[in-house]
Amino acid sequence: MSKKPPLQTSSHYSTFGDQLPDFIPAYEPCLDGNEEEYVRDAVRSTWISYAGSYCDRLETDFAAFCGTDFALPTSSGTAALHLILAALDIGAGDEVIVPALTFVACANAVVYTGAKPVIADVDPITWNIRPDEVERLITAKTRAIMPVHLYGHPAPMNEIDAIVKAHDIIVVEDAAEAHGASINGCRTGALGRIAAFSLMGNKIVTAGEGGMVTSNDAALMDRCRLLRDNAMAHDRRYWHDEVGYNYRMTNLQAAVAVAQLERVDFFIERKREIARLYDFHLNAVPGVQGPVELAGCTNVYWMYSLLLDAEYPLTRDELMMELGQRNVDTRPFFHPLDTLPMYASAEPVPVAMDLSQRGISLPSSPKLTDEQVCYICEVIRAVSPN
């Protein structure tokens, strides 16, 4: 539904003069470190499957990055989530509380185990799962809570920890979108009992496709490794006491990820700089609300995202179209899980529904130049009443 005046399609944005800039993608990985060299090295070594030196190095380097004792590479973030739930023996008859505003993999991973995802509404400011909703939804069947650090801002882990203390409930962090984010100096991956990351191509650290599990719990990590490797017995080759999975990452993927980790501090610092630039140019635009960074938290702004309200002259979809016409790629927020057909029976989640309709993610790659950020902001400002 169109609001207020029709699109103003001024073709002149000063940063690029009269020219349209080259296409600006919503995300683009930085692959200009040692990625190519390490992949060549892995190929030359002939260790291209899961056993290889880059897989070993990734375990050490990723654990060091998160500040955990252990890290285990997996084939995807979705596989990492499923593996964790399977290792916790979560299954039929159990419930896992997940936020309404997240990627569908969170609920799917629960369903893969036979358990039921219970969908909690989110906070209107941080967009993350709400502790009071978690508390309200806990039942005798609740086995785990899966807070997601949405778009790079840490979820309220301390508040959730305080709630679960009185129960036998495990906190499984979904850190797919928040490599390096932290609360009081403690990084994601080390904030719950166990955590899952995604290393897909548009994530802060990528392997092309891939995931990681991190934890300080040696026994639980052993169980994850066993299930990841088809549950092959450690002491008897090709003997399997139970059904496992092949959720391994290849040495080729790990080679990319190891090179990425060498530069992750730069990626995060550049992303935070880009966020400050967006903030500077957009915070006075009426009807536009940017992302927050709560006291004590470090937001890594995986996707720098905005909410538009009625004061802004365009709807979210109209702004996406306007930016698209100007060669700027954007993403809408996720659909709340309970609007998807397979999760439709859940309770209403009004905050997630509202955010989902008004939220837009802007280009957020560390490769963005300051000029590109200024151009994007000029387009957004050009359609505002000021």
Ligand X SMILES: Cc1ncc(COP(=O)(O)O)c(C=O)c1O
Give me the residues that bind ligand X (CB under 6 A), please: 76-78, 102-103, 105-106, 148, 174, 176-177, 198, 200, 211
- Choice between 82 and 326, CB closer to ligand X: 82
Smallest distance from ligand X to CB 199, Å: 7
Alpha-carbon distance 37 to 257, whole Å? 12
- Choice between 109 and 221, CB closer to ligand X: 109
Smallest distance from ligand X to CB 189, Å: 13
- Choice between 305 and 315, CB closer to ligand X: 305
Smallest distance from ligand X to CB 198, Å: 3
Alpha-carbon distance 258 to 272, whole Å? 22
Smallest distance from ligand X to CB 352, Å: 14
CB-based contacts of 40, cutoff 8 Å, min separation 6 = none
Alpha-carbon distance 335 to 103, whole Å? 8
Smallest distance from ligand X to CB 178, Å: 9
Three-state DSSP class for residue 352: helix
Shortest-Cβ-distance residue relative to ligand X: 77
Residue for token digits 């039929």?
92
Compute CA distances 61 → 57, 196, 214, 314, 318, whole Å: 6, 16, 11, 45, 43
- Choice between 59 and 174, CB closer to ligand X: 174
Smallest distance from ligand X to CB 181, Å: 12
Alpha-carbon distance 40 to 54, whole Å? 12
- Choice between 151 and 375, CB closer to ligand X: 151
Please state, as a whole number, how many other Cβ atoms lie within 10 Å of the Cβ of residue 18. 8
What are 370's two structure tokens? 């300051």
Smallest distance from ligand X to CB 381, Å: 29
- With vertex at residue 305, the alpha carbon angle to CA 184 and CA 188, rounded to the nearest 5 degrees, is 30
Alpha-carbon distance 206 to 261, whole Å? 9
- Choice between 204 and 258, CB closer to ligand X: 204
Alpha-carbon distance 96 to 78, whole Å? 15
- Choice between 16 and 103, CB closer to ligand X: 103
